[in-house]
Homo-oligomer: A and B are copies of this chain.
Amino acid sequence: MATAETRIARFQDGHGWEDVEPEVYKSGLEGSGGWKDIVRQVLIGKRNEAIAFQVRYFEIMPGGFSSLEKHGHAHVVIAVRGRGKAVLGATVHDIKPFDTVYVAPWTPHQFLAAKDEVFGFFCVVDTERDRPQPISPQEKASAVAAGAVVES
């Protein structure tokens, strides 16, 4: 398969990017405690581009959240829309547009939209990466104490 040609993914306000399919996001982790109202769009990295990373855009509806998880690969998150929070280990942080988060390997993490705002962010990751793994009871307790949401 030939590698991808130069391409512009046009942003269409309110409709995402031209020729990029929104996917309802499901965590790779069974029994993680769940996720809620989160959509993923893979902008770059699924068309045999000559790069070792993927650029995705996630949007979480008001009150929604990603799964609380950890894994051996790192994340880079660039917030661009609305307000949210990041639970990182046993800490929680308000996140506003253009705040950029480096999530190191094995840091338990969860992103949550504010109750009344959509929260959108780019997430860049290595193309070759491991799957999420269960967090320990101690990690879970610390994250929940900080503000993580885990459905039982």
Question: Hey, which bits of chain A sit against chain B, CB under 8 A?
Answer: 3-11, 17, 43-44, 49-53, 55, 73-74, 76, 78, 80, 86, 88-89, 93, 95-105, 107, 109, 122, 124-126
With a cutoff of 8 Å between Cβ atoms, the chain B residues found around residue A44 in the complex are: 76, 100, 102
Contact B80 A55 (CB under 8 A): no
Chain A contact residues: helix, strand, loop or mixed: strand
Copies of the polypeptide in the assembly? 2
Query: Least Cβ distance of A140 to chain B in Å?
Result: 17
With a cutoff of 8 Å between Cβ atoms, the chain B residues found around residue A8 in the complex are: 86, 88, 93, 95, 99-102
Assuming the A-B contacts A78-B55, A102-B49, are A96 and B11 also in contact, with contact meaning beta carbons closer than 8 angstroms in the complex?
Answer: yes
